[in-house]
Amino acid sequence: MKEQLEQVYRTAIDELGHITNSDALREWELKFIGRKGEITLMLRQTGQLPAEERADFGKRANDIKNELTQAFEERESLIRQQELAQSLEEGDIDVTLPGRPRRTGGLHPSTQTLRQIQEIWAEMGFQVYRSRDVEDDDTNFTLLNIPPHHPARDMWDTFYTTQDGVILRTHTSPGQIRAMQDYGEDGTKPIRVILPGMCYRYEQISARSEIQFYQVEGLAIGKSIRMTDLKGTIADFARRLYGPETQVRYRASYFPFTEPSMEVDVQCMLCDGEGCSVCKHTGWLEIMGCGMVHPTVLRNGGYDPTEWSGFAFGMGPERITMLKHDIQDIRYFWANDMRFLSQF
């Protein structure tokens, strides 16, 4: 039986050397080392041998099966490479053509607008200040001249947490207090910063309102800063963002943390002020609110309002993006719909 095993081994090696295609190789595997192959069947007959011959025969049979398995794998790899090369030469594939590039992602439209806004304000001498998303009630409201039970608190639908006095910020304005405390050096240094970040409000989601959205707050503090400085700065920003011919107008408004306060409109860039559905046929589009920093807010930030003054402004990148691209529904920004996002 041992001679028979050696004969099968020599036959298997000889036949394997002449195989040149995958089909023949598969047949060889089934014939010799498969579950019903000759080597496998001979291994199963080891128990029929005399006890003194079983160990030597079993060891040799296992060695032969391992050698044939290794030889089979090497031959399989070689044949696979040869068949692939032949397929590439004879088939319709032109291997000299460049591969298809992978599609890369792009910046979210809100991020694009945020970066553009930040670049403009950086050119105008403002630096970026990052403030926290989770705030305390005092910083978010009280220090901004909105004490408890003040009716202005109804302007912001607030997300409260399970910890008393801890909320998700409803606007980026509390960053004004943080910036004055961090950069003002006890009310002795001027400040020019913008504060971009996410805000959160417990509102009914609709085409015009979301529970989360970006804002960009701005703050400038110095000596002898006047309303004319604010108006000139805002007009310069609007022209850098929308074009040098952009017309700007200001309307009186109210914010607890600025006095006096204004809303800023730009002439509708879609109809050139003639009136359209986007500007509701007024010819103007609102882009931000602004005003002179309230003396109480200056004092809470560590500045003496008799010596220092400043202005603040706030704008929404999503709103600016909607106006720029005539987007009718703010919910598109956070729906993760590739049909919408891929346009940017």
Higher pLDDT, 203 or 255: 255
Over the chain, what is the mean pLDDT? 87
Lowest mean per-residue pLDDT among 145-159, 171-185, 228-242: 145-159
- Statement: residue 262 has pLDDT above 70: yes
Q: How many CB atoms lie within 10 A of CB 68?
A: 21
Contacts of 155 by beta carbon, 8 Å cutoff, 6+ apart? none
Higher pLDDT, 184 or 125: 125
The predicted pLDDT at position 202 comes to 85
- Statement: residue 163 has pLDDT above 90: no
Task: Give the global pTM.
Answer: 0.66
Plot region of 218 (φ>0 → left; ψ -120 to 50 → alpha; else → beta): beta
- Statement: residue 94 has pLDDT above 80: no
Confidence of residue 91 (pLDDT cuts 50, 70, 90): low
Give the mean pLDDT of 66-75.
Answer: 89
331 burial via Cβ count (<10 Å: 0-12, 13-18, 19+): middle
The predicted pLDDT at position 18 comes to 87
The predicted pLDDT at position 196 comes to 94
The predicted pLDDT at position 239 comes to 92
The predicted pLDDT at position 33 comes to 84
The predicted pLDDT at position 197 comes to 92
The predicted pLDDT at position 296 comes to 95
Give the mean pLDDT of 150-159.
Answer: 80
Residue with tokens 């529970």: 211
Q: How far apart are CA 317 and CA 154, in angstroms?
A: 23
Q: Which helix (H) or strand (E) holds 198?
A: strand 191-200
- Statement: residue 41 has pLDDT above 70: yes
The predicted pLDDT at position 207 comes to 76
Q: Which helix (H) or strand (E) holds 259?
A: strand 258-267
- Statement: residue 278 has pLDDT above 70: no
Q: Nearest-CA neighbor of 134 among 199, 203, 216?
A: 199
- Statement: residue 155 has pLDDT above 80: no
CB 167 within 8 A of CB 137: yes
Strand, helix or coil at 340?
A: helix
Lowest mean per-residue pLDDT among 36-50, 268-282, 301-315: 268-282
The predicted pLDDT at position 93 comes to 67
Q: How far apart are CA 85 and CA 39, in angstroms?
A: 33
Contacts of 40 by beta carbon, 8 Å cutoff, 6+ apart? 33, 34, 65
